[in-house]
Structure 1
Amino acid sequence: MTTTPLRTLFCIGINQNFFDAVAEEQKAVWGAFVQMMQGIAALPGVTVLGNMDDDRAMVGPSDSWPWTTYLLADLPDLATVHAACNLFRTTPVGDGTYKLWKYAKVEARVGRELSIPAYAA
Structure 2
Amino acid sequence: MSEQKPLRTLFCIAVHQNFFDLPFSDIGLVWKGFSAFLRGVADLPGVTVLGTMDDDETMVGTSPDGFPWTCYILADCPDRDSVKAACNLFRTIEVGEYRLWRYMRIEARMGRALEIPAL
Task: Give the TM interval when normalised to the shorter protein.
Answer: over 0.9
Q: What SS is found at the alignment partner of 2:10?
A: strand
Match of 1:62 in 2: 63
Offset from partner CA, 1:52-74 (integer Å, 9 cap, x none): 00001101101321000000000
Taking only the aligned residue pairs, the percentage that are identical comes to 57
Q: TM-score, normalised by structure 2?
A: 0.95
Instruction: Give the letter for the 2:35 counterpart.
Output: V
Q: Is 1:49 aligned to residue 53 of structure 2?
A: no
Count how many residue pairs are aligned between Structure 1 and Structure 2. 117
Instruction: Give the letter for the 2:47 counterpart.
Output: V
5+ residue gaps in structure 2?
A: none
Instruction: Give the letter for the 1:113 counterpart.
Output: A
Match of 2:112 in 1: 112
Q: TM-score, normalised by structure 1?
A: 0.94
Match of 2:89 in 1: 87
Offset from partner CA, 1:73-95 (integer Å, 9 cap, x none): 0000000000000000100113x
Q: What SS is found at the alignment partner of 1:61?
A: coil
Supply the RMSD in Å over aligned alpha carbons: 0.9
Match of 2:31 in 1: 30
Distance in 2 between the 1:33 and 1:19 partners? 15
Q: What SS is found at the alignment partner of 1:66?
A: coil
Runs of 4+ in 1 over 2 A off after TM superposition: none
Instruction: Give the letter for the 1:91 counterpart.
Output: I
Of stretches 100-109 and 58-67 in structure 1, the one that deviates more from structure 2 is: 58-67
Q: What SS is found at the alignment partner of 1:56?
A: coil
Q: CA deviation at 1:2?
A: 1.9
Q: CA deviation at 1:24?
A: 2.2
Instruction: Give the letter for the 2:68 counterpart.
Output: P
